[in-house]
Amino acid sequence: MTTLPIGIAPLSHLGVIRAEGADAAKFLHGQLTQDFALLGQDQARLAAFCNAKGRMQASFIGFKSSPTEILLLCHRDLLAPTLKRLSMFVMRAKAKLTDATADFALYGLVGEGIAPAQPAWTLASAGDATTIALYPADGQARALWIAPAQTPPPAGPALSPELWLWSEVRSGVATVSQPIFEALVPQMLNYESVGGVNFKKGCYPGQEVVARSQFRGTLKRRAAIGHADLAMLPGQEIFHSSDAEQPCGVVVQAAAAPEGGWDAIVSLQLAAMQDGSLHLGAADGAALSLLPLPYELLADI
């Protein structure tokens, strides 16, 4: 088994939305699945932005860069439409949302001595730079590093963006991108188990659907990690050997594995994870094998 190398990778696939103003935290609290009203300066939040049916339109890692400013990191291919949708709901709130991607440098950190070995979503600041601890991958600590543009990255060996993307898959925590736009509710990506949903906060778009899925025990799909010999792409359908007509899941996020083949975060019907076999694109397509999740799932309520 390949050990994830230690190093630092540039993250060009992510962008930054800046929410600033006296009501920035209150506004985001009413739009996203996590609690931003009580967000501390030493915390980050994983959160989803859902439509009225509870389907995820985007996901964020958000943190306060000042008492009146919150930065949201999201997949770059969804930044512009997400910024437009969120801005429609600002109304009279004292908050302004802008694309701040060009204002910041983003790097991924992997390994002891480079990434902090702290609980996920813990935030630390040093000068103008902020480090956010992420879920580990194969036992290796991981973090996001963000600082004003032109700030030199922290010292350490270079890590390829491809290996960083593989570490994202191996962590089991998915980032929503265009191919799965409005395809899944948060629990279908295990977000309630990795700190992405707060069931005690007030309303947000899709909140009733998300809560009902959790508290009525109606979850029928979950995220898993899979491996295939062939390349996989986000949005690619997955079929079970017993049903050639209807897909049982979808590839959410995929990356080449260093030892060959591809690993992916997939969202699957629970029944499809039992007997039979899984295949890409068709019931007789390339085989997909499931790997253990690196974290425990919260029990359905």
Structural domain containing residue 287: 178-291
Amino acid at site 210: V
Question: What is the model's pLDDT at position 201?
Answer: 85
Question: What is the model's pLDDT at position 216?
Answer: 62
| Three-state SS at 237 | strand
Q: Which residue stretches of the chain are H helix?
A: 24-29, 76-88, 161-171, 207-215
Question: What is the model's pLDDT at position 299?
Answer: 72
| pLDDT at position 128 over 50 | yes
- 201 shares its domain with 268: yes
pLDDT band at residue 94, thresholds of 50, 70 and 90?
very high
pLDDT band at residue 280, thresholds of 50, 70 and 90?
very high
Instruction: List the one residue out of 116, 104, 149, 123 whose CA is nearest residue 62.
Output: 123
| pLDDT at position 1 over 60 | no
| pLDDT at position 162 over 60 | yes
pTM summary value? 0.95
Q: What value does the mean pLDDT take over residues 33-56?
A: 95
- 185 shares its domain with 141: no
Q: Is residue 218 classed exposed, middle or buried when 0-12, 13-18 and 19+ CB atoms within 10 A define those classes?
A: exposed
| pLDDT at position 301 over 50 | no
| pLDDT at position 283 over 60 | yes
Instruction: List the one residue out of 146, 184, 201 whose CA is nearest residue 28.
Output: 201
Residue 170 lies in a domain: no
User: Which residues make beta-bridge pairs with 133?
Assistant: 143
Residue 166 lies in a domain: no
| pLDDT at position 218 over 70 | no
| pLDDT at position 217 over 80 | no
- 30 shares its domain with 76: yes
* Total of domains in the chain: 2
User: Residue 234 belongs to a domain with what CATH number?
Assistant: 2.40.30.160
Q: Which range is least confidently modeled, 34-38, 181-185, 213-217, 281-285?
A: 213-217
Instruction: List the one residue out of 150, 17, 25, 118 whose CA is nearest residue 75.
Output: 17
Q: Are the C-beta atoms of 279 and 266 separated by less than 8 Å?
A: no
Q: Is residue 286 classed exposed, middle or buried when 0-12, 13-18 and 19+ CB atoms within 10 A define those classes?
A: middle
- 42 shares its domain with 129: yes
Instruction: List the one residue out of 234, 224, 216, 236 whose CA is nearest residue 193.
Output: 224
Q: What value does the mean pLDDT take over residues 54-73?
A: 97
Q: What value does the mean pLDDT take over residues 180-204?
A: 94
Task: Please list, in sequence order, all residues whose beta carbon lies within 8 angstroms of the beta carbon of residue 122, skipping any fewer than 6 positions away.
Answer: 42, 43, 44, 116, 132, 133
Residue 115 lies in a domain: yes
- 109 shares its domain with 141: yes
